[in-house]
């Protein structure tokens, strides 16, 4: 997939493990948003 340049595409399968996506496909950082609103 050389056409992606420096971008990374990963597919993972998570079973019976709580997981949170911290950065979405648009670059929004959930963790930074929580820190910004909690202070």
Is this model's pTM higher than 0.75 or not?
Answer: no
Distance CA 31, CA 22 (A): 6
The residues, ordered by sequence, that sit 6+ positions from 31 with a Cβ below 8 Å of its Cβ are 22
Residue-level pLDDT at 16: 93
Query: pLDDT tens for residues 1-39?
Result: 567 666 777 888 889 988 777 888 888 888 888 888 876
Phi, psi dihedral angles at 7 (to 5 degrees): -70, 150
Residue-level pLDDT at 14: 82
Residue-level pLDDT at 23: 86
């Amino acid at each position: 997939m050389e056409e992606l340049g420096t971008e990374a595409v990963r597919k993972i399968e998570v079973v019976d493990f709580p997981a949170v996506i911290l950065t979405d496909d648009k670059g929004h950082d959930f963790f930074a948003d929580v820190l910004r609103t909690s202070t």
